[in-house]
Amino acid sequence: TIAVSRARRGDGPPPIFRQLERRLPSGADPAMQLARRLGVDPSQEHAFRQFHRRFFEETVKQRRRIQQARRRMVEELVSESPDQELLEQLVREVAEAQVSMEKALVETTLRSREALDPGREEAYLRFLMNRLQRMGQAQQQRQQRRR
């Protein structure tokens, strides 16, 4: 069903890394690819990669959590007698995971900015803004198609 397919969207890497991963050989590190794409100085690269690797791991974990909660929510919604308390708990779980991902983005961005020299920081912020704008545009398009 449509709801089930939407529930499955929560799995996988964060959108910022998806495009990078498509260009990488299997098993390659998207954090390293991002550092190289931005021209991060080798002295800054280790810290930058660590921040982004943790961000990647955290967002994958939270996206899976969202996926599982949404799947359980759909199952409960279509059950013969949905449990309102369980549904409210699942909504809270999705919200908590979303908050965790937003906090991870903020923390990673701030730490990355501190670790980068001014030129790389500017390139990083441009990259991040472009990605976030594209994500926002894609979300708007999806919402328009649903109407």
> How much is the pTM?
0.71
Mean pLDDT over residues 104-108, rounded? Answer: 94
Angle between helices 118-146 and 15-22 (to 10 degrees): 100
- As a three-state string, the secondary structure of the chain is CHHHHHHHHHCCCCHHHHHHHHCCCCCCCHHHHHHHHHCCCHHHHHHHHHHHHHHHHHHHHHHHHHHHHHHHHHHHHCCCCCCHHHHHHHHHHHHHHHHHHHHHHHHHHHHHHHHCCHHHHHHHHHHHHHHHHHHHHHHHHHHHHHC
Q: Note the pLDDT of residue 55.
A: 92
- Rg over alpha carbons for the chain, rounded to the nearest Å, is 18
Q: Mean pLDDT lowest for which of 14-28, 39-53, 72-86, 105-119?
A: 14-28
Q: How confident is the model at residue 28 (pLDDT cuts 50, 70, 90)?
A: low
Q: How confident is the model at residue 15 (pLDDT cuts 50, 70, 90)?
A: low
Q: Between the CA of residue 124 and those of 36, 72, 75, 135, what are the distances in Å?
A: 11, 37, 41, 16
Ramachandran area for residue 23 (φ above 0: left; ψ -120 to 50: alpha; else beta): alpha
Q: Is the pLDDT of residue 103 over 80?
A: yes
Mean pLDDT over residues 128-144, rounded? Answer: 81
Mean pLDDT over residues 109-117, rounded? Answer: 91
**Residue 58 to residue 53: CA distance in whole angstroms:** 9
Using a pLDDT cut of 70, give the percent of the chain over it. Answer: 81
Burial of 34 (0-12, 13-18, 19+ CB in 10 A): buried
